[in-house]
Structure 1
């Protein structure tokens, strides 16, 4: 099956800025996106209550709406701050919470829950890899008790407290050693750690280009024979800041690592160089899709200050930009796809079926 485009629901506008999930799903479908990562905050907003008992009818509604729009639900995410908790009573509470998430995932009709690496403070989580592995194995074993099996996709955040590189993430996945526990590879979080440094005047790490080249070589070598453990990927770029993200910068928050503040405000869709994108995302995508041979969901998990705008038009704007980014990726990597994407003609959007590689003319129309 060829790669297919998806997006995270919150990447089309935050619910607390007045953007309902139903509108975001409609725009995703209109612009040819085929999959949706359901962000938990969107589900609770749909339920209009934080009470767990109200989440199930909301999940049923979302599943029905996605089905009517020909959208598949990629995953439910993010199950945050789980592994390595020093407070083991809190760990037990999180186990009960994930049991609820599993039931919600089943109602949504997805078999995957995404787990980002924890970025809690060092006085809250342990650096002990064995404890992390034990905790994550407990999740996986819970998922194995269900039919169909519930899978967990572990992802390293570039500001993670102890797991901030794909190598550490992959090492933990292999140590967990469960068929339903795999990795989510995110171009932003990979490059945000090994290539970019938003707190630096240059915006990049020393020897960044060579590090990316070496890292992608290792990624290909280590995962080529394990591509089934790549549960899905996320492909986005990010903005090079004019000034380093340190105290005094408008995005600076004392309680956040610079990379986290940058992530929350400055991610961009693939190929948006005109908006300041500068990460070597193509090299990461090429390593995963072409060299490793990955052929699953390609999701665009954007975080950007635009998502918090309150005007209704931002949802369609972001969906359109996501579609353009996907078109650029297809063209750059010469991907074989079978997907409908929008083409703009005379100010209107029409869907056209694309059953072959994009060419430069097709991408230019988007």
Structure 2
């Protein structure tokens, strides 16, 4: 049985970034296990999807590219794009993994995880069993969409299941959900000449609302939304809580709202309703504690509160009111986890002490509403 000090599950932005941090701990034996390819979730984005956070090579002036997984690199340089596509970003991650010679095992899906009494984990993989002293779960959320937000949702394609919006050939569609994925679906369909109705509980782009893009629509999406509205092909209906979808004898669909309103469509509505709370952490749900809202409970070091040695990395990390759902947010947790593991193994973690300004002049590790940045 192969033995590692630490195993990382998932080779997306969180997994590759964590591997780079672990690599800074001398003598640490670690590996990354990926069910598909490096950056698999990004490779599954709709063809028209783009990063909402801009990439820019500001590194020489002490500002790391917002989408970089380590301080020196820049997706803007590698992809030549300010708003990279999913496949472009996946190639950036692959480039980083190759350049740093990270020990990544692709096509290596973890089938089962067991916590060992006294510490450590046993992982079942296609390449045999693996024992790890520490386990970092970094499987993200995109591959874990919420497919059942209301009865009848099984007839609806979810944003995460869409390969290319040009395949949607009906003359009109209804999109359910008013945050990033719902707005992106509506904007792309309107751009292709389709008539689109967007059903949203509330506006996520209110200028008087939160400025945190974890809670409100990003400037990039707002700009594109306003342009789509100007075409006259996008109608937005607010105050809609969809509670069900039914089909009629002719194969059409009726969308039911909680206040009694309804809308009839010939084409199945599109779900822009987000992802499961906890995302990929639900693959090992029994190893985490969950709060009343269905989210993972973590220590201040992003460690499971019921399974010592198990850490969560990526967009599902939350600490009190801080939501780390963007790369530029959760990448600031890499060193924290790597340092905790290194210290537990009595290893030198000096290389992880990069200073408060590693990701920018403010070193915004506590970034939230009202912070100095």
> TM-score, normalized by length of structure 2?
0.30
Structure with the bigger percentage of helix: 1
> TM-score, normalized by length of structure 1?
0.30
Looking at CA atoms only, which structure, 1 or 2, has the larger radius of gyration?
2
